Structure 1
Amino acid sequence: MPRNITMDDIAAMAGVTKSTVSRYFNGGSVKESTKQRIQEITREYNYQPNAFARLKARESNVVGVVLPTLNSKITSRVVTSIGRYLREQGYEAIIKDSDHSIDLELKNIQRLITLKVDGILLSAINITDEHRELIRNSPVPVVVLAQDYDEGICVVYDDYGAGKAMGACIGRSHPDRVGYMGVDESDEAVGIARKRGVIDGLRECGVDCIREVSGDYSYESGIGMARELLDQGPLDALICATDRLAFGAYRVLEGHGLRIPEDVSVAGFGGYDESTLLKPELTTLKFDSYGLGYLGAETLLKMIREEPVPKKQIVGYRMIEGKSVRK
């Protein structure tokens, strides 16, 4: 006579996780081949889960989302896209804001794990050794957004390619002196890859005089960096790592009596709606932030269902040509 088995036994025999078996018994989405294996095992052992066991094992249908900040146009697009996709799939999101603090970001990941969410979308400030250890030991799937993560699954922007495209856009006007307003290199995607792309794009156009400064993502930092660059001498062009930094640059250039683009070309990254209100309209590069959120959420739910996913996916961008760059 067949022995009594548990949900753990079924998972082991089917070669899947206990959460997949739980999802099967609770009517969730499971691959057809997996469903057939579980059905064969339950028939062979005459397994019948009791109501309490089914309730206890039920998935939360909640996904955790860790973000560097909520004060960002790009982040709002990503969150909107994540929320829409999850709702369509019967999931909800718990959103944790790290306020650009890596320590708080790590605590947010740990907190979501203790809350037993089904998976985590992590828009990381940076991937440190502590991040790697947390993700490696996480009992639930984790998808990293906007930062390259070689040890796991990630969905990223092409920061280097975008930076190079913008560098070439400015370089084609043959400026003699270009300033770059960036962010701290602790953010590898924007602080390193995007900046490297900009510099390579400029140099391929024969621009060698490039002055760099860095700060944070705030409008005030944009003002401070623009002043610092102008204090070092005249400029023909300013490339800003984000549109918000470009807003600060506009303010400083106006205060110095410099015209855009006749005296100084200005460009940014982000494609914010507000950038169209600037006079002249800002030339900027817009990433597919909605695509990042949608693809990240879709990938995470596939991982929860134990479906195969690509190790790395890259979303696109497009140039928005305003009137702030001299032709």
Structure 2
Amino acid sequence: MKSYLKYIVCLVLVSGSYSCNELAGTRTIRLGHGLDTSHSVHKAMVKMGENLNELSGGKMVLKIYPSQQLGTERQCLELLQIGSLDMTKVSVGTLENFAPKMKVLGLPFLFRDRQHSFDVLDGPIGQSLLNEGEQYWLKGLGYYDAGSRSFYTKDRPINTPEDLKGLKIRVMESVTAVNMVKDLGGSPTPISWGELYTALQQGVVDGAENNPPSFYLSRHYEVCKFYTLDEHTVLPDVLLAGTHFWNRLSEEEQGWLKQAVDNSIGYQRKLWLESEEEALAEVQKAGVEIIRPDKSLFSEEVNEIYDKYKDDTEMYQLIQDIRATK
């Protein structure tokens, strides 16, 4: 009940500021996200705001609400859809519930490496997927790097898929993520990011999966002392605008915003590499055992996920096109 009331209050707060900003001659853009202010994505958003202010000559101002101040990723997407929030950042895993084709990016071991993922996301395929959300009032603006996701656990290390059997693993509200953990032998348990630390402490789940900076900044390493770098999925973060907001912008304003977004993406990707190295070093100092398993053992177990798409001509072709991208 408290969470619901907070959501309603936030809706009123963000929606109530719009008319005043327009009357003052300055367009204030409200961007809500769930990450900590020390995260590379938030720092890139701050940089984006500075750049946007400069490009627009002070006519456009970015106001950022971090750390789930305005709700979970799903709630922020819903606020965009009804026009009560202008922009947000969500994981592809969350977005697939609103733009179904996005689920292709959540398939395990889809990309050969980091550069391959950038080539796909920054190219025609990635742009086409960004456009997929427009029929749901969500306009994709670009992809931030979120690295690769791997498993971390409390009581025992994961060296092979066999070690996942019987373990409750937190996943996002993503059908693809649920199927992946099932195929690997674990028990997928969707829990919101903000509730995960307590869930790990209390034994509601035995582990989770995420990238190194998220593992570190969330302080989940205080509870989970085993981190297995199987790097099963490369799930980018997606920066979105609500179409209600986007369509109110002039062509010039859209151009300023898109340029500021593009500049922030390059900046964030550099920060991300640094944050990955720092995160792994810090969790090791805190006593976390870093495990580098044979990834082929994991990739072989999820082939059935791809087999399920053979009868879906459009999706199967998309997978082939991604794999063929050089």
Both structures adopt the same fold (TM-score exceeding 0.5) = no
> With structure 1 as the length reference, what TM-score do the two structures score?
0.39
> With structure 2 as the length reference, what TM-score do the two structures score?
0.39
Q: Please tell me whether Structure 1 or Structure 2 has the larger radius of gyration of its CA atoms.
A: 1
